[in-house]
Amino acid sequence: MSVKISQRMKLIDSSGIRKVFDLASKMKDPINLSIGQPDFDTPEDIKQSAIRAISEGKNKYTLTQGLKELNQKLLEKYRSQYPKNPPESIFISSGVSGGLLLACMALIDPGDEVLISDPYFVMYKHLVNLMGGKPVFYDLYPDFKIKREALEKKITDRTKLIIINSPNNPTGIVHTREEIRIVAELAEENDIFIISDEIYDSYVYNNDYTSILDFTNNALVMKGFSKNYSITGWRMGAVMGPDEVISQMITLQQYTFVCAPAPFQYAVLENLDSDLTKYRDEYQKKRDTIYEGLKEKFDIVKPEGAFYIFPKAPDGKASEFVEKAIAKNLLIIPGNVFSEKDTHFRIAYTADIKTLQRGAEILNSLV
């Protein structure tokens, strides 16, 4: 008997990141600079909070929108942080990825156009395609800056959404206040809604971060705990925005994720005020190590956030260069996973300093 797979599955492919992840599991002691998750363990006090919640029997469903106390604390925090454009509502999602899926389900109709910066986080393009929408890319090369003209000329009467991601995966770029202003103004002028993925906002190295909420609340804002607490497997995110959108996403969560994992919600609630500065400072040192190690031989824009760097491959042939690196037991990701171009490659500097130095030596030897 043959099973007829849905037509929508032809619109997506297995993530190039996951392909490298699977490859790593088969290699002997690779230098793995491919996967974007922190290399430090979950802080002990956060672990103990989860263990305590489990031991106390806090293992059943929560409200679909998450623990009332957690939602309230987060809403108070962000309303205080952005008093000019305070978010109306918030809910706890099963990771920012889960929030992105629900947002696309709630907002995109077949034929709607969604503006996505190129380079982009791999999920955006495929989620838009799954909803029957049309991804429209505005080019950020070579400096990865948002330019009004490049964005504006992509807007049509079918444009429904703009997705932005700062700090950015894969480039590590933190968009400036002026760049975020451009997005907010164009969205308002053309009646376009914004999705702002801000999961890496705790990893900003120049202490100069601008959220879309600094200019408008005509947006869904995605915040997360996975990266800053090193709990990527816990699937904990938060989404805030207008009541009318959040309520629809909560309805969808009832029929998909049901709720985020209960004991982990309690653990996050207990640790909202944890000082994680030391981890950010460590990643700044790692950023400096890989940047200094590669800048002489590679064309690189120095990242100011997240934990990624996106060098240009020699001769602009990223896939070929990545194959040579993998042959040297070094795992990195070709740029065509994150872009309509194949000119750059992504390094996740989520490794110790010695490993980063070894990786840089191999990359330099291949030039």
Q: Where are the CATH 3.90.1150.10 domain residues in the chain? A: 7-42+276-366
pLDDT surpasses 60 at 15: no
pTM (predicted TM-score)? 0.93
| Burial group, residue 56, by CB count within 10 angstroms (0-12, 13-18, 19+) | exposed
> What mean pLDDT comes out for the span 59-79?
97
| Burial group, residue 227, by CB count within 10 angstroms (0-12, 13-18, 19+) | buried
> What mean pLDDT comes out for the span 147-164?
97
Does residue 132 come out as left (phi exceeding 0), alpha (psi in the -120 to 50 range) or beta? left
Q: Specify the CATH number of the domain 7-42+276-366.
A: 3.90.1150.10
User: Residue type at 74?
Assistant: L
Nearest partner of 287 among 176, 193, 167, judged by Cα: 167
> What mean pLDDT comes out for the span 99-121?
97
Q: Where are the CATH 3.40.640.10 domain residues in the chain? A: 60-270
pLDDT surpasses 70 at 21: no
pLDDT surpasses 80 at 357: yes
Computed over every residue of the chain, the mean pLDDT equals 94
Pick the CATH number of 60-270 from 3.40.640.10, 3.30.43.10, 3.30.1330.10, 3.40.50.300: 3.40.640.10
> What mean pLDDT comes out for the span 202-222?
94
* pLDDT at position 359: 97
* pLDDT at position 19: 64
